[in-house]
Structure 1
Amino acid sequence: MPVGALSRAAAGVVAAGGVLREEIWDRLARVPDPRSPRGRVYPLPCLLAVWLCALTAAGHDAACAVGQWVARASPAELTRLRLPFDPFTGRHRIPDEATLRRLLARMDRDALAAALLGDTVVAPDGGGYPRRWRSTGRPAVAHGGPTDPRYIYWEWQPTGTGLLAGQIEVEAKSNETAAFQPLLAGLDLAGVTVTFDAMHTVRANLDWLVTVKNAHYVAVVKANQPLLHARLARLPWADIQTAALTRDHGHGRDETRTLKVATVGFLDFPHAVQAMRIIRWQRMTGHRPSRETVYLIIDHPAETASPADLAAHARRHWHVENKVHYVRDVSFGEDASTLRTGNIPTNLATPRSTVINRLHRAGYRFIPPGRRDHTTPTAALNLHGFP
């Protein structure tokens, strides 16, 4: 039995099956090495394994912390990381912070995403998309990533897993709207309802989804569409019956969501036949209560999308924000990261998302306790399936 299985966390993962598998090394070996062969000391998969496992451990979010993490590993753990052994010193060679940082700056971001996100990743051209998810999933698309450059993420969500399926980089905030169609062009979206942030609620995108992709949409409307937003705000919401009322309480937060839906025929926006208003009232311990009103437009007629269906679509969209963007910002300190050289922002986002995916699959509802359960190299290696 692996040493890591003696811990409660590692035992749970081992019991799930398929932890000690060679596949992870095969994936990492497919990433092109950007370094010159001359003077190369550390194999590329070894360094990627160090990054992935170190970022799994709580408190190791910077390159210097990653270097400290690997320096504390035991000889057995360094062997599992496949770091080169120096016969003259009788010790494994350990990469320093500069080596780790330079590699991430030059790494091919698409190849790294394909290797680490594994069976949940999908390329913008549709390659490698899991067939079992294609027919049953509900995709939720959201822009995110507070670092520069920016990213767009999408999540194929068959069971509300919160797993990140892929990402595409956008060099400037103003270009995110233009990336919408290339991002989704390769996906089979026939009959699927797509949700996205207000930035992507533009006529061309909505018309393209319905007429070209045969998809449906639930689109958030904010001030970037002032005329449409004003029309929605002027609807007689006071005379419309509440369709859904939900209350949540936990972690020092009380939240109430009130949802109303109206059939409309004069919004002058492609294929929009329903409008939805969601009022979210929230009170957190130590903070003043807040109230937010969100408007959405939908191409589903009332006969094919009930208020309960529309409420579920809205929750799935916010699920992406809460399970991916918020977690990376708060748990991994992505907002505060000062690593901006080359491809580092993108290539840090990928292993962070991989850690989130693996912890969710291991049964963790919340990421911080999952990271605290995997602070040792053995526990992290077991989580990601390194033999």
Structure 2
Amino acid sequence: MPCLAAVWLCSLTAAGHDRACAVRAWLARTSDAERARLGLPWDPFDGYRLPSAATIHRFLQAVDDDPPSAADGDSGQEAQPAAVQAESVTGERVAPTSAVALDGKTSRHAKRADGSRVHLVGVATHGEGRLLGQIEVDAKTNETTVFRRPLRPLELTNVMVTTDALHTARANLDWLVTAKHAHYLAVVKRNQPTLRAVLAALPWADVPTGAVTRESGHGRAETRTIKAATVRHVDFPHTLQAIRIHRWRREKGKRPSRETVYAITSLAFEQAGPALLAGFARHHWHIEDRQHHVRDVTFGEDASTSRTGRAPATLAIFRGAVINALRAAGYRHIPEGRRDHVTTALNLHGFP
């Protein structure tokens, strides 16, 4: 199993090797020294024995939700939340030292035997978008019921966890604060109608604007205005501040649009002011930009029709591991990193 995990990891790193037959072709081009580093079995008569394409593919069915140990090589790097810049604090209250985002992703063309689509829930760091964990959601459940599984193995003390509106559930956010000693910033939409009504009714006109950010590029300009207010009467576990984000967006060829988003956080004003909260809310989408989008565009994950057993979820784990390794090596663009490691993937992942 570790040997086959190493084969998949290193072959996926090299550009153009995204299927079992291509993995087998990459393996056939390796040298004896590289095969020894991969841990392939040795036969005194025939030399190193190479697994068939069928064996390579069957391996995908046997991997669970946790990344195989071989996927980490021997680089000694651990998947830890990336540091974020914290504001100055007073008293005993401390600002979060790092932040992670939890979000789901559907593999649109990968279907189970019953016809349902494969859905994955992952956790990634803000900033570099490093994948820390991922699980497959059963066809008969939803993301909310598996909220704790990808977060449970992580050290989240004093870490900010950002989620979308789907995960704004009392039990999960209470567990996050009481059991994991973490903080949360959760979006509130119409799936929590009472809470959203309370937030919308706050006297926002009397609350000063805390931060304004402007971005432009690719034919789009966006301005975000954020206000944050300390609240004591909101009936939701550990909520200390309410947040309102107003977005004004203009895209080329389209009419300007406006959107108001509400959120809650377990951070007090002394721990995080509006500017820091705005950064947390904006950086939540790093999991989309730097994990999900890259896996779809560079690795063709969304277009992949692999559908046997756990193959789609397992391949997603390996793709995330490759992205992590290339980003740690200093690559900003993953396709460039894959092209540079067609023959040196073992070195990238630290195999002895």
TM-score, reference length from structure 2 = 0.78
Matched, 1:301 2:268: yes
In structure 1, distance between residues paired with 2:30 and 2:55: 17
- CA, structure 1 residues 285+65, in 2 after alignment: closer, same or farther (shift >3 Å)? farther
Matched, 1:146 2:106: yes
Matched, 1:61 2:55: no
In structure 1, distance between residues paired with 2:132 and 2:165: 21
- CA, structure 1 residues 65+273, in 2 after alignment: closer, same or farther (shift >3 Å)? same
Stretches of structure 1 lacking an aligned partner (at least 5 in a row): 1-32, 34-43, 123-128
In structure 2, distance between residues paired with 1:117 and 1:222: 38
Write out per-residue CA displacement over residues 148-202 of structure 1, whole angstroms, 9 at most, x where no aligned residue. 4433322456xx4432222233314734222223444455544433222222111
- CA, structure 1 residues 165+225, in 2 after alignment: closer, same or farther (shift >3 Å)? same
AA partner of residue 97 (structure 1): A
SS of equivalent residue, structure 1 residue 337: coil
SS of equivalent residue, structure 2 residue 325: helix
Matches within 5 A, 1:32-111: 33=1, 45=3, 47-73=4-30, 77-78=34-35, 80-83=37-40, 93-110=49-66
In structure 2, distance between residues paired with 1:282 and 1:117: 41
Matches within 5 A, 1:116-195: 116-117=71-72, 137-147=97-107, 148-155=117-124, 160-172=127-139, 174-185=141-152, 187-195=154-162
Match in the other structure for 1:342? 309
Percent identity of equivalent pairs: 57
- CA, structure 1 residues 385+267, in 2 after alignment: closer, same or farther (shift >3 Å)? same
Matches within 5 A, 1:252-291: 253-282=220-249, 291=258
Matches within 5 A, 1:214-233: 214-233=181-200
The structural deviation recorded for 1:328 is 1.8
In structure 2, distance between residues paired with 1:353 and 1:68: 22
The structural deviation recorded for 1:77 is 4.8
In structure 1, distance between residues paired with 2:251 and 2:28: 41
AA partner of residue 25 (structure 2): Q
The structural deviation recorded for 1:289 is 6.0
- CA, structure 1 residues 373+335, in 2 after alignment: closer, same or farther (shift >3 Å)? same
- CA, structure 1 residues 53+61, in 2 after alignment: closer, same or farther (shift >3 Å)? same
The structural deviation recorded for 1:232 is 2.8
Write out per-residue CA displacement over residues 19-44 of structure 1, whole angstroms, 9 at most, x where no aligned residue. xxxxxxxxxxxxxx4xxxxxxxxxx5
In structure 2, distance between residues paired with 1:139 and 1:288: 34
- Asked whether the equivalents of residues 259 and 311 of structure 1 are also in contact (C-alpha less than 8 Å), the reply is yes
- CA, structure 1 residues 379+187, in 2 after alignment: closer, same or farther (shift >3 Å)? closer
Match in the other structure for 1:242? 209
AA partner of residue 62 (structure 2): R
AA partner of residue 242 (structure 2): A
The structural deviation recorded for 1:357 is 0.8
The structural deviation recorded for 1:142 is 0.7
Would you tell me which structure has more helix in proportion to its own residues? Answer: 1
- CA, structure 1 residues 137+69, in 2 after alignment: closer, same or farther (shift >3 Å)? farther
Match in the other structure for 2:351? 386
In structure 1, which of residues 336, 348, 359 is the aligned counterpart of residue 326 of structure 2? 359
AA partner of residue 306 (structure 1): G
- Asked whether the equivalents of residues 120 and 164 of structure 1 are also in contact (C-alpha less than 8 Å), the reply is no
Match in the other structure for 1:209? 176
Matched, 1:327 2:294: yes
- CA, structure 1 residues 82+304, in 2 after alignment: closer, same or farther (shift >3 Å)? closer
Stretches of structure 2 lacking an aligned partner (at least 5 in a row): 85-94, 108-116
Moved more, 216-225 or 355-364: 216-225
Match in the other structure for 2:90? none
- CA, structure 1 residues 303+93, in 2 after alignment: closer, same or farther (shift >3 Å)? closer
- CA, structure 1 residues 78+299, in 2 after alignment: closer, same or farther (shift >3 Å)? closer
Write out per-residue CA displacement over residues 106-159 of structure 1, whole angstroms, 9 at most, x where no aligned residue. 23443x44442476667xxxxxx89x99x98524141223134433322456xx
AA partner of residue 169 (structure 1): E
In structure 1, distance between residues paired with 2:284 and 2:227: 18
In structure 2, distance between residues paired with 1:58 and 1:233: 49
The structural deviation recorded for 1:220 is 1.3
TM-score, reference length from structure 1 = 0.72
The structural deviation recorded for 1:219 is 0.9
AA partner of residue 352 (structure 1): R
In structure 1, distance between residues paired with 2:31 and 2:254: 45
